[in-house]
Amino acid sequence: MDIKRESTVVQRSVEDLSQEDHTLIQYAGEAADRAYAPYSNFRVGAALELEDGTIVSGNNQENAAYPSGLCAERVAVFAAKANHPNTNINKLMIVVKTEKELKQGFTPPCGSCLQVLWDVQNRQQSYISIHIQASDGAVYSVQNVNQFLPFGFEL
């Protein structure tokens, strides 16, 4: 038996986004500005929109004792679940600020972040859409975490 899963990533202009998405980009960009990334100079900001409209942001936090730092996406998810444990996450906006050239134009969440998002999505039994603003301003979107992580770890 063959199992086939495909991903669809949609590229949109920032002008095509809703006002809510513009607000999320602003929060994620401000979070990226506050990131602690002296080693990689790869600043990432994440902003989550909860089902009640609350926005929770996070940023990457590096540490000299690598890999003790944490990615922006997990900082935001853990803050949201610590402070709003019974409120679903609807949407995640990511902004990356770096001087490095990104091979595919945008940077999706790492595998660890995707696994955390996959687990939360399954627990809450509703999709979390992911939107990533590229350095050129374009926004790349997927409808749910499964588009980036089709086979998450589950017990």
What amino acid positions are annotated as catalytic residues?
73
Angular region, 41: left φ>0, alpha ψ -120 to 50, beta rest: left
CB-based contact 47:28 (threshold 8 Å): yes
Q: What is the dihedral of CA 60, 139, 103, 33, to 10 degrees?
A: -30
Structural tokens at position 18: 């809703």
Phi first, then psi, for residue 89 (nearest 5°) are -95, 125
